[in-house]
Amino acid sequence: MTDRIRGTAEVEAALDGERLDQAAARLFPEYSRSRLQTWIKRGELLADGKVCRPRDKVRAGTALTVDAALEDEVSWQPERIALDILYEDESILVLNKPAGLVVHPAAGHADGTLVNALIGHAPTMAQLPRGGIVHRLDMETSGVMVAAKTLSAHHHLVAQLQARTVKRQYCAVCIGAMTGGGTIDEPIGRHPRQRKKMAVVSGGKPAVTHYRIARRFAHHTRITVNLETGRTHQIRVHMAHRHYPLVGDPAYGGRPRIPRGASERLITALRGFPRQALHAESLGLLHPVSGEAMQFECPLPEDMRVLLAVLEEEDGVQARPDHA
């Protein structure tokens, strides 16, 4: 029996005048743009009950409805790529994603992605929305992720994310010595001029980030971050907005900032850090079948451990934990 996808969503004011396929991609983010375009062309994704073209404009308040057969993403090919699996059963798979691994196939990354690895490991995941992925990490962000192995598990996990009951905690190293933790409640949307970047913008989607100081150094801060929402680049954008960008962030951090009087070892560590210093260290959720509360943790990867060791050495003494 073929699984079917059914869902409804209303076009938000921020999407007024957008193409139908673009609005659908924002309102149904768990499905790929190409899959949504196929459903529109087949008449399986309707706007106010009418068949439209992907390029047709939609107005605020338009009701989008989906009733479509779930088929394989034919462009996504299984590949034998090693996975660091933390937990797996018939419904979910939890893994430690390394930095440098792209989550979804896209322009410039047609293969060698996490989705290719997942459907190589469990071929039935090819039938699921986005290959079973329910939340993403940026290519250069490492850490714990969960993927669904069945359609019902996928729906259950997406519902948990929408209800903000999934607990996600990150470790980040920021430029600048913070004086305390806090909450950033600022909307995030596409940068008005640099369309590949995100920014804090009026009319963006709500985004809430909680952070506290874990270790304070002379010119840097290690923070623990908890997310209420999961916007694209959320931690990176919010911390840069507060003028504490992440070490090594090529998009939001600017050029490496070298503190006055820094040792050669610190200069080398900062200039050579290969990515944004961000790691998803823990994930808490309810199992989609048993309802059991589950918690998964990933230790810091080697590159971040080395960076933190250099920062501690530079201070001369091991930094004491703060409780901000």
Rounded Cα distance, 196 and 280, in Å: 23
On whether the CB atoms of residues 22 and 52 are closer than 8 A, the answer is no
Helices 20-27 and 33-42: angle between axes, nearest 10 degrees: 120
Please list the alpha-helical segments (H only) found in the chain. Answer: 20-27, 33-42, 114-121, 151-162, 234-241, 264-272, 302-315
Give the residue numbers annotated as catalytic, written as ranges: 138
On whether the CB atoms of residues 236 and 245 are closer than 8 A, the answer is yes
Which uninterrupted H or E stretch holds 198? strand 198-200
Phi-psi region of 20 (alpha: psi -120 to 50; beta: other; left: phi over 0): alpha
On whether the CB atoms of residues 94 and 86 are closer than 8 A, the answer is yes
What letter represents residue 51's amino acid?
Answer: V
Which residue(s) pair with 47 in the sheet?
Answer: 50, 64
Residues 6+ apart with CB under 8 A from 82: 117
Rounded Cα distance, 137 and 101, in Å: 9
Location of structure tokens 């913070």: 178
Among 109, 106, 86, 107, smallest CA distance to 96 is for 86
Helix, strand or coil for residue 241? helix
On whether the CB atoms of residues 191 and 235 are closer than 8 A, the answer is no
